[in-house]
Structure 1
Amino acid sequence: MRVKKYRVDTMPEAMGLIRSELGADAVILSTKSIKTGGFAGLFRKQKIEVVAAVEEPAGSAASTNLQPSPPVSPAQSRSIPRAMAPDAYRKVADGMNNGEQAPAKEKQEDAKQESTSYWGSRSTVLPSLPVQEPHPEGADFSASTDQALLVEIQQMKQMMVSLAKRDAHEAVLPSNLNEARTKLVQHGVSDELWMKWIDSVAEQGTEQTEQSGLAMVKEEMRQFLAERMDGGIAQDTRIVYVAGPTGVGKTTTIAKLAAEQMFKHKRKVGLVTADTYRISAVEQLRTYASILGVPLEVVQSPADTKRAMERLVDCDLIFMDTAGRNYRNEMLVSELNSLLLNEPNSEMVLVLSLTSKTEDMLVILDHFTKYGLSKVIFTKMDETDSLGSIINVLYRYPVTLSYIADGQNVPDDLMVPDAKTLSDCILGSDGG
């Protein structure tokens, strides 16, 4: 791969230099404005720094001059302009372009011959690019810069592969399975999981109507969820540590849980709060404790926690509210864990908001699962139409789903979900 940096006055000037020196297959990796020259920080000129790269033919030296590529026919560049795709990406681009031009029947036959999977060899991940150490004239690249460029190129490859998978998938799947796929994607279910479910149904090879195909995919989801639901708080649990990032509705959720255990399960409940970072949080839980008629203890250290548990020894079940923090930071998770007692019949529950991004949830879960996290509660279901985060979390980590909160009313807006109901929410009831 040949990489070169240009400092120019205008982008048209940069494009001309790149085209003449690197050829039509070159791709721009980054652009930024810089100031050069001057004296004592004054009279500096505004310049544009452009980094471009092109993959060299196999066996050629890094210093070999590349000739511009011949013009491309409109049919070839209809989906993905070849001038914007180096050879490393062109395999994927060709697969997508050729797939669009072939008749649907030929696509299905080719896919069946190439692989037992419906997306077959089109989903093959491209091999890693051999990256040569660039030494363009007038440019000085550090190792960190080279690594950053490599990461960016790998990300571009992954994006192209993902697009190729979806293109191949849409070309060969029957309409009834495409409907299921569309609903799963709309809810944000990960590509890896929905492909697995739909592949499983497609490989059964039975003639399916639109309704039956959707129902079969929903059954795959129902079985997946049934193995990952725990029915709420167990009867032998005595202490529940409730954690969660800021703004997820953790304190309100604790009040709902306490009310559920008191009124439905007739258990004597006590509350403990360590959320002393916000005065309003303590007062909020104190108000709930007063309404429910349950004792409340405030703690700030492990010793305080131990004394509080001793004072609540007569309670059947104790909920401990912890401070809402930025738990993307693992140090804060470790600090929280030091406050908790390693008692028998105790468990930690993580509260997450369905309005958060799946990626942020997974980072937080990655930290908490190192400290014995076993259950999750999702809040704010009423504030989103996307429920895929529930599926993704349960797929990626060995945790179970205990409750879902769908409003702010205490104690009403809390439910123990079941696999069928949640599947219906995502794929529609009765297979529709």
Structure 2
Amino acid sequence: MHIHTFRAESLQAALQQVRDALGPDASVLQTREKRQGRLGLFTRTFIEVEATLDVPVPSHFADRSQSTERSSSAGQVGDKQISLRTSISTTDSSLVSAACSARASASHSVDAPTPGCSEEMPSAAMLEVQADLLSSGMSPSTIAALMREAVEQGRGEPTADAVDAMNNPWALRGRIGQRIAKRLNVAGSIALSANKPPVVALIGPTGAGKTTTLAKIAAGFRFDLGCRIGLVALDTCRLGAVDQLLQYAELVSAQLEVVSSPDQVNAALQRLSVCDLVLLDTAGRAPRDAEQLSELHRFLKLAQPHSTQLVVSATSSAAHAAQAVERFSVLAPTNLLITKLDEAVDFGSWFTLLERTPLSISYLTHGQQVPQDIMVASARRLSSLLLAPLPYRSVNEF
């Protein structure tokens, strides 16, 4: 590996030298702030950047998996109506059974049959909610279970309320939403400390939106709370990635450290000890690439983050998201951070994953604007997004 050294008065100017000399594919190995002068007289500060053009070969698996996922996402929209009709026609038995038992339990609590009700078939409201939940990507078995639970919830209520819930789609959605919300584990915002800055790492697959999400978090703490922010490009040495992070650092007046090897981690964090919050940006990793995950683990072991956010895009299928949660578990993430909810086609399919994951859900993002398009996760908001098919989501849900 041939290492080139560049010096300039600012990091931006030094990176421009790297770009001019080595091109956009260069890798930044290290950045240092240095002083020049004798005996402390006429001292000036400059930035020194070490870079190389020897970049690692990208993972072929990552390329194939991303290509496959893009193709899958493109086909999801076109196939949605066909799959929805198929789902409704072939899986109605369990749903009808749940709906009928619900209506039966309500109608049996009074002497006379409920007007407009039949124990043989579900109401129009039930069919409407069923179709919406199927369209959102939720599985038929999950929908049936949620409907049964919604009925159980109303057993102690006045009969009129129980019957209304089975005939009013909004009331039924409300009950199901309450059941979903109770099963979700949310974490709340990053907690600051009076003693030393919390160190928060963002990890996840390539393309999940880690760097943009990091910028949103940094901007929120900077502009809303007046925090001093430290940013670390941890094992993210591509010139383009460092350049993007530098732009975000300038936006929030943050100090940026570039760390290309584990032995640089402690010194970088020490230089950022005066900050109120330190955010670690990491390179995207293919979930099945054990070597890449092991390399990142060495960095995180030295950084000892207070929390590690696993960033996963809502545009991924539930199966891909579950795979990411499983594979990245070797890095001991503490939270799940869900991005690109504004682009999600079948987010309802994520319900089983979100219900079962040991990771508490911290933040949700829904666009590219920094810092507007991010919010702290709440069980109510998540249940609303899981219930609603994409065409019926409004900006109020974000």
Task: Report if the CA contact (8 A) 2:351-2:386 is conserved.
Answer: no
Q: CA deviation at 1:246?
A: 1.1
Task: Report if the CA contact (8 A) 2:285-2:292 is conserved.
Answer: yes
Partner of residue 233, structure 1: 190
Task: Report if the CA contact (8 A) 2:312-2:336 is conserved.
Answer: yes
Partner of residue 316, structure 2: 356
Cα pair distance change 1:171/1:263, threshold 3 Å: same
Match of 1:301 among 251, 261, 274: 261
Q: CA deviation at 1:417?
A: 2.9
Q: CA deviation at 1:195?
A: 3.4
SS in 2 for 1:264: helix
SS in 1 for 2:367: coil
Deviations 1:151-207 (A, max 9, x none): xxxxxxxxxxx9976434236624433433332222223455433322212345756
Rounded to whole Å, the distance in 1 between the matches of 2:264 and 2:349 is 36
Matches within 5 A, 1:164-175: 166-170=92-96, 173=99, 174-175=123-124
Cα pair distance change 1:270/1:215, threshold 3 Å: same
Report the AA paired with residue 273 of structure 1.
A
SS in 1 for 2:200: strand
Matches within 5 A, 1:227-376: 228-236=185-193, 238-341=198-301, 346-376=306-336
Partner of residue 184, structure 1: 133
Report the AA paired with residue 309 of structure 1.
L
SS in 2 for 1:368: helix
Partner of residue 410, structure 1: 370
Deviations 1:194-232 (A, max 9, x none): 33322212345756544332221121112223xx11122
My pick for the range that moved more, 185-194 or 402-411, is 185-194
My pick for the range that moved more, 378-387 or 258-267, is 378-387
Pairwise CA RMSD? 3.0
Task: Report if the CA contact (8 A) 1:190-1:392 is conserved.
Answer: no
2:145 corresponds to 1:219: no
Cα pair distance change 1:181/1:274, threshold 3 Å: same
Rounded to whole Å, the distance in 2 between the matches of 1:278 and 1:344 is 23
Report the AA paired with residue 268 of structure 1.
R
Cα pair distance change 1:293/1:277, threshold 3 Å: closer
Task: Report if the CA contact (8 A) 2:233-2:259 is conserved.
Answer: yes
Q: CA deviation at 1:392?
A: 3.4
Q: CA deviation at 1:301?
A: 1.7
SS in 2 for 1:401: strand
Task: Report if the CA contact (8 A) 2:205-2:312 is conserved.
Answer: yes
Deviations 1:46-92 (A, max 9, x none): xxxxxxxxxxxxxxxxxxxxxxxxxxxxxxxxxxxxxxxxxxxxxxx
Match of 2:344 among 384, 387, 401: 384
Report the AA paired with residue 359 of structure 1.
A
2:356 corresponds to 1:396: yes
Structure of larger gyration radius: 1
Cα pair distance change 1:180/1:222, threshold 3 Å: farther
Deviations 1:285-326 (A, max 9, x none): 011112221110111122111111111111121101111121
Task: Report if the CA contact (8 A) 1:306-1:341 is conserved.
Answer: no
Partner of residue 18, structure 1: none
Partner of residue 30, structure 1: none
Q: CA deviation at 1:281?
A: 0.6
Task: Report if the CA contact (8 A) 1:404-1:416 is conserved.
Answer: yes
Task: Report if the CA contact (8 A) 2:233-2:282 is conserved.
Answer: yes
Rounded to whole Å, the distance in 2 between the matches of 1:394 and 1:189 is 12
What TM-score does the superposition give when structure 2 sets the normalisation length? 0.61
Report the AA paired with residue 217 of structure 1.
I
Cα pair distance change 1:204/1:309, threshold 3 Å: closer
Rounded to whole Å, the distance in 1 between the matches of 2:241 and 2:267 is 21
Report the AA paired with residue 235 of structure 1.
L
Task: Report if the CA contact (8 A) 1:256-1:411 is conserved.
Answer: yes
Deviations 1:84-143 (A, max 9, x none): xxxxxxxxxxxxxxxxxxxxxxxxxxxxxxxxxxxxxxxxxxxxxxxxxxxxxxxxxxxx
Report the AA paired with residue 214 of structure 1.
R
Match of 1:421 among 381, 385, 388: 381
How many residues matched? 269
Report the AA paired with residue 282 of structure 2.
T
Higher relative contact order (CA 8 A, sep 6+): 2
Partner of residue 6, structure 2: none
SS in 1 for 2:383: helix
Task: Report if the CA contact (8 A) 1:271-1:296 is conserved.
Answer: yes
Percentage of identical aligned residues: 33
Report the AA paired with residue 95 of structure 2.
H
Q: CA deviation at 1:366?
A: 0.5
Rounded to whole Å, the distance in 1 between the matches of 2:304 and 2:210 is 23
Q: CA deviation at 1:275?
A: 4.2
SS in 2 for 1:314: coil
Rounded to whole Å, the distance in 2 between the matches of 1:172 and 1:260 is 45
Rounded to whole Å, the distance in 1 between the matches of 2:98 and 2:283 is 50
What TM-score does the superposition give when structure 1 sets the normalisation length? 0.56
SS in 2 for 1:320: strand
More helix by share: 2
